[in-house]
Amino acid sequence: MSGKINAEIENCVRNNINWQNLPVHLKQILHNNQKDYERYVFNYSLKNQLRHRGNLARKVFRNEQRYYELLVQKSVNCLCLFPYHLADIITKGLRVTPFNYYLDVISTLVKNDKSYDTLPNFTAADCLRVLGIGRNEYLALISDLKTNTSKLLFSKPNPMTFLPKFPIRINIEPWWKVEVGYVLESDIRYVNDAERSLIDDLIDFGSQTAGKCDYAVIHSLYRKGLIYLDVPISGEDRICIPPLRNFVMNRVSGDYFENLLYKIFVSTDEHMTMSELANMLQIDLDTVKQAVSLFCRLGFAKRKDPLDDSFTAIYHPSWDKSKREAHQDDRPQVTPLNYHSLLINEDGTGLITQENSPKQQKDNNSIEYVSDENNSDFSFPNVPTPSPVQETKRTVTTTTDKGSSENELSSELEDVSEAANKSLKESPSPKSGKRVGFLFDSTLTAFLMMGNLSPGLKNHAVTMFEVGKLCDESMDTFLAELEKVSLLDAEGEGDVSRYFAHAIILRSTIIALRNVLPGGLDLLRLECLESLDHKTRDRLLEKKYKFIISASPLTGLTTHVFNIPFFGQFYRSSENSHLWSKLFYYHISGYGPPSLLLCKGTTLKSLPRLFLGYGKLLVNILHSDSYVINSENFRNLNDQLKNGCILLQGYGIRAPGELRYEAFPFNEKDGRQTMWSEHKAVRNLRNQLDLENTCGFITFVNTGVADIGCDSYDVDVHMERPRVKKKSIPGGAVEVKTPSSEPSANIVSTKKANKTITPELTSPQDPSEVTSFNRQTPTKRADLKSPDEDYFSVTPQHGSPSNVFMSEDCNELLASELAKCEPTRELVSQGSVEIPMQSDERLSSLDSHSKEDFGEPWTVLDVNFGVPLFDVDCNTRICEYIVRNLCNDESLQRLPAINAAMNEKFLKFIKQCLYFEDENVGLIKIGKILPHPRINLAFENGKVCYWNGK
């Protein structure tokens, strides 16, 4: 089943479309079987944690309790997030709290010998928040299990023995709601009077706002599992996303809810209400509120409180920060649902111990684990059941140490939260109006995370990668971290120094472009924008941004052209777009290194002739960066050609070519750019591409071989079939060979009276084709003894040798070379070839135009549109030109039409390269993905043509 069809069926399930109203084509896909559709509805509802009531699941599976039991079991097996939106049933009805739910998740991983990276990102983040188990703690858990494994066969310890016995302290916001959980009469023995009073109020009057209750009482009841927390979000709420903390980068599961979380990450901002967000994404408002509620619960988002600070006066006095810190040193709480081996005595003042406990003392710095060998008696299997068991004094001591450690961790997290809230309150009023969007890809975030640049920079890099956006509100702290990066720290680091360079140039770019518009500047990750459908992406960008500037070059793919003004790549990209674009720039400029675009499946048996003299070759392949090889290793490319096409280029004689980056638009007043702006390639590029109203840079290369360009310049590609080859055969006939794409020609022979008549020998129409015969007057030579005698008996016109092809262009070039060495007028003999020297006027003309004759030492290697982050000079010039000239309204209005015109020329070039001119293929239409080359293409002598394999 294709992804599009699957999405249609999922949409029908979410919209409660029953079998009778299902579209006909979907019924056919489901084999016109209603049972198949009901089975799909049931599995989809469990996987996506849909509520039983109000959905199709109620019609296909009527046992509601069993449905939720299966939902929890499937969620654990699939390592999904705890279904917080179903807590009123899961926690209150089945007594499954987030704590024992994630205990089962971790236990499932351990039993199946899975690595920590198996956990999806958001599930791992919630496990860390609730259990305190991150990557290091999980590795320690695995180590403990191996250490305590008996040498006897099949005697692995129970993972629950080593898992935490109660949840760590979490951050609770005062605007959250407190709901009563599943409370038994036996649980009341373990609560004090204040806790019992709050439970009574929750039972009698319903949910309470956390800020109106005692801070210590809420945390105590939460850790005992007797209450659960709801994070209410309304359609008028606004949120902001600060730099991520405690985010775990493992993997993405790809399910519906996770995809929605990432869409909201990149789409929302603090100026947009939840209703507006749902309308823009065209998603149900309740689903959006469910996702935003999870963000606030995990601490990845903060709600913008519309109320003034005076409203905080109605909060309970215990919510004061100083009083909160006083509660951090309380003794560890006992959780009735999860105490496993702890039991408070009846008066609640102490702990009763048990002898011969299997618990061993752990290191004080590690998380303490206790034994749990009880079976579940809940309606849902695998949920720990409270069983009064006693513990030793050693366990009590260790537990106290752990509680202290947990209190310190919780205090640190709450201090971070307080600092974040304080910074939000003290920040200046938010900027209004549309913003500038700066587009980057995953390469930049990798540079910021891989390099040891700044301690606080990694959090921002994680935010840029996972959220897909860094808003202007967080830009001040981001710039402060970038300011700590110094190139002096990169000395002696080798390739790592480019990480430092990217960070420094990125900072100067943000500073230069941030104040172009009053709204500020946002950093946008390309891959996250591409995860949105193009209509949603266009609505988002048109609503929030006036124009977008792209970092260059981008390694990510842009499958749709931006509707708003965009300073960057003007064409839709695919895996082979960089191969096509290079040939495009070479052809329209008439300059570039000799290049071959080879189709998949091509085999190189010898070094192509156009690379003779080159010792270094540049290899451009799919899904990877280009690299340099020695020309004698060309056969190694045959393995690459089995998997995809390759662009092979001459890159140097003895060493790789020297590179030079020059920014455009060119500044005619800058003497340093005069030479480059007058380059013949730049002149031709200006005629075909708009280099004045766009921005970017041209990469020049000096391979050591001068580029003479193309005299007969033509912007159109004329793809001609290879010339017919003629070969003499015994009997005086001529065998005509044609390419494999054409039907083979017949052998031309005329036999009369046992005598073979040789047809007329003709010279080729193309003067560049080398041949060993010239045109002959039509005479019959039936008296020749052999074809070889006939071959050499032909006397060419003008007295030229019969086996030498004469070209005036070659004569002129050789004469000019000899004229420089010996400027005298005489006949120069080389072998059997006599070349007459030109006149004195011709020699003087050659001297005055030596540059045209001997070509350009620098040629074009590539053209990129956007702002580079690796070259300071280019970056500075481009940013300055954008601020001064290109960001005015008149230029921005013209930009989409300019990009569209350049894109049309690019697509026309590709169409002309796919087929020969004499092939009647009709109208060629290129879809979203650029096609792979159908025939091998060569760029030489300033134009793209068919490569015949030599």
Mark whether 399 and 455 lie in a shared domain: no
| Residue where a domain terminates, one of 530, 564, 598 | 564
pLDDT (tens digit per residue) in 295-320: 999 999 999 875 544 445 578 888 87
Of 512, 543, 564, the residue at which a domain comes to its end is: 564
pLDDT on residue 853: 54
Full residue range of the structural domain in which residue 774 is found: 749-801
Structural domains of the chain, count: 4
Average pLDDT over residues 140-162: 77
Alpha-carbon distances of 120 from 117, 174, 585, rounded to whole Å: 7, 29, 43
Same domain, 364 and 341: yes
Residues 488, 382 share a domain: no
Report whether pLDDT(486) > 60.
Answer: yes
Q: Do 582 and 697 have their domain in common?
A: yes
Reply yes or no on whether the pLDDT at 835 is more than 90: no
Indicate if 586 and 704 belong to the same structural domain.
yes
Domain assignment present for 842: no
Q: Which residue has the tokens 């766009």?
A: 694
Instruction: Mark out the alpha helices in 427-562 (DSSP H runs).
Output: 442-450, 457-466, 475-483, 497-514, 526-530, 534-544
Q: Give the distance between the most distant pair of CA atoms in the chain.
A: 132
374 and 435 fall within a common domain:
no
Euclidean distance between CA atoms 117 and 392, whole angstroms: 36
In this structure, the answer to whether residues 595 and 689 fall within a common structural domain is: yes
d(Cα 876, Cα 607) in Å, to the nearest integer? 42
Same domain for 702 and 764?
Answer: no
Estimate to the nearest angstrom the gap between the alpha carbon of 772 and the chain centroid: 56
User: Does 361 map to a domain?
Assistant: yes
Comparing CA positions, the residue from 174, 314, 184, 280 lying closest to residue 232 is 174
Within a domain: residue 783?
A: yes
The pLDDT-based confidence of 358 (bands split at 50, 70, 90) is: very low
pLDDT (tens digit, 9 = 90+) per residue, 559-574? 888 889 999 999 988 8
* End residue of a domain, out of 564, 596, 626: 564
Residue 100 is assigned to a structural domain of this protein: no
Residue 560: the pLDDT is 85
Indicate if 705 and 596 belong to the same structural domain.
yes
Residues in the chain: 950
779 burial (CB, 10 Å; 0-12 / 13-18 / 19+) is exposed
Which pair of tokens denotes residue 722?
């290879």
pLDDT, tens digit, for every residue of 739-764? 444 333 333 333 333 333 333 333 33
Residues 380 and 499 in one domain: no
For residue 138, is it within any domain?
no
Confidence tier at 556 by pLDDT (50, 70, 90)? confident
Establish if 645 belongs to a structural domain: yes
387 assigned to some structural domain: yes
What is the reported pTM? 0.75
The answer to whether position 598 is within a domain reads: yes
CA distance 688 to 263: 38
Reported as a single tens digit per residue, the pLDDT across 202-223 is 999 999 999 999 999 999 999 9
d(CA 631, CA 653): 9
Q: Are residues 522 and 395 in the same domain?
A: no
* 486 and 559 belong to one structural domain: yes
